[in-house]
Amino acid sequence: MKNKALKRYIYSLSPLLFLFLLCSFKTDGPEKKIKRDTTVASFKLRTIIVDAGHGGHTGASGSYSTEEGVTLALAFKLQKAIEKNLPGINVVMTRTTPAGVPLQTRSDIANNNKGDLFISLHCNSLSDRISYRHGKKIRVPDRSGRGVLVLVYGFHRDKEEAAALRENLFEEKDGGKGVSMGFDPNDPTAMILLNAFKAKYRKNSLRFANLVNSEFVDTDGRHSDGVKEQGVLVLCHSAMPAVLVETGFINNPTDEEYLNSEAGQNEIVASIIRALVEYKKEVE
């Protein structure tokens, strides 16, 4: 049974936890060098999911371009840049054509491929303002938005994140017959493991989001609305660290030109790559 295996896994971590606690306290004696145990397997960033937002004639649009087209172009550039700059990492694309892909399908692709990081690329846009002229209601385009925004999933969808983790970490099929081994909420070892992964993925989502945002602001000099929480389905249904990058306001003429230019797209991708290199270094 899977839960028995989980128990063995939890118990096997006990010596490591004890060693960590032992080494965490300072002593008055002379400092001793501790030889690193290289037999303990470390985490490796192996698979990155690149999600080109929207598709199927959905999403935001500018005066001459669409979100589905811009994000697909960025996704292809990011795929090539990861393969060039981070060799050995497998890149999985959720969308490779203009056709739309359902939101849950995107998360399913990420989970089925055992992704270690989910990056969703989008373009932002502001809704029209409502104004009144001569007693008539009119819509006025709001093109005041500019710059970037990086999102992580909101805590109000925490239960959906837990459900995705349970399915991805605990569910397994018995002999391919579709019989689920299930998750036992009364098993303390299973709950410990589930909560540990939730905390880890949350921490790493914020870690990567802040790295990306810093690159946009500090290196590229772009305006940013910061790192924020939002109830985005593809983020909370993906059982891994996940961020959504709003690369610019496509209905702002200046941002639209930037988003469609080679130089602008290359700069966006380069910033994400620098963040990925630093993130990989930190988590590994």
The CA-to-CA distance between both ends of the chain, in Å, stands at 30
- Residue 11 within any structural domain of the chain: no
Percent of the chain whose predicted confidence (pLDDT) is above 90: 62
| Residue 148 burial class via C-beta count within 10 angstroms: exposed 0-12, middle 13-18, buried 19 and up | buried
pLDDT confidence of residue 162 = 75
Nearest Cα neighbor of 241 from 279, 196, 280, 205 is 205
CA distances from 168 to 68, 172, 197 (A): 29, 8, 11
- Residue 20 within any structural domain of the chain: no
CATH number at residue 89: 3.40.630.40
How many structural domains comprise the chain?
A: 1
pLDDT confidence of residue 188 = 75
pLDDT confidence of residue 15 = 47
- Residue 6 within any structural domain of the chain: no
Pairing state between β 242-249 and 148-153? antiparallel
- Residue 76 within any structural domain of the chain: yes
- Residue 188 within any structural domain of the chain: yes
Cα–Cα distance measured from residue 205 to residue 120, given in angstroms and rounded to the nearest whole number: 12
- Residue 37 within any structural domain of the chain: no
Give tens-digit pLDDT for 13-61: 544 444 443 444 444 444 444 344 444 457 899 999 999 999 999 999 9
Cα–Cα distance measured from residue 226 to residue 228, given in angstroms and rounded to the nearest whole number: 6
pLDDT confidence of residue 8 = 52
Query: Sign of the C-alpha dihedral, residues 51, 53, 56, 61?
Result: negative
- Residue 25 within any structural domain of the chain: no
pLDDT confidence of residue 253 = 97
Give tens-digit pLDDT for 243-265: 999 999 999 999 999 999 999 99
What's the domain range around 193? 43-283
pLDDT confidence of residue 130 = 87
Cα–Cα distance measured from residue 75 to residue 69, given in angstroms and rounded to the nearest whole number: 10
Give tens-digit pLDDT for 134-172: 888 888 888 999 999 999 988 677 777 777 877 776 665
Pairing state between β 136-140 and 129-133? antiparallel
Report residue 46 as tokens.
């192996």
- Residue 204 within any structural domain of the chain: yes
**Helix residue ranges per DSSP H, the chain:** 2-24, 67-85, 103-112, 158-169, 188-214, 233-236, 253-260, 262-283
- Choice between 281 and 19, residue whose per-residue pLDDT is larger: 281
